[in-house]
Amino acid sequence: MREYKFRQWTTGWSSGKDRMVYLGDISDEEFSPLTQGILMQYTGLKDINGTEIYEGDVVKVSLPKVELDGYMEMEINIGFVTFNPHEGYGVLYKNGKRDFLIYNHAEVLGNKYENPSLLDEINYDKE
């Protein structure tokens, strides 16, 4: 059975700091997905290290690439996890290519809100 989990990137807390909040970590009164931030859903998948993968996560995907001569090397790409209602969860790469999220070949590096420098590394707009 699928586990439904959410997290929210919140801005403008009374402390003045932005932070990632996981539903269940704070009271329901504090968790306000419509007014306080960006809501992200757990994909139901874990990466190669057992880390839960959420929308907005920046992942490194390593897939074997076999050449015509039989030589095999690893093709490594970095992108971030997105959701499309027609295709499900996928990874959007800097070249605009969107591919399926192959979780057993992915490693979560961070997320685009707490680690915006990861987007700089892959030439993405931070919005």
Q: Write out residues in the chain with pLDDT < 70, as ranges.
A: 1-2, 12-17, 24-36, 121-127
pLDDT at residue 4 in the model: 79
Query: What pLDDT was estimated at residue 102?
Result: 83
State residue 109's pLDDT score: 94
Query: What pLDDT is stored for residue 126 in this prediction?
Result: 44
User: pTM of this prediction?
Assistant: 0.77
pLDDT (0 to 100) of residue 123: 54
pLDDT of 25 reads: 57
Dihedrals φ, ψ of 101, to 5°?
-80, 105
According to the model, what pLDDT value does residue 37 have?
76
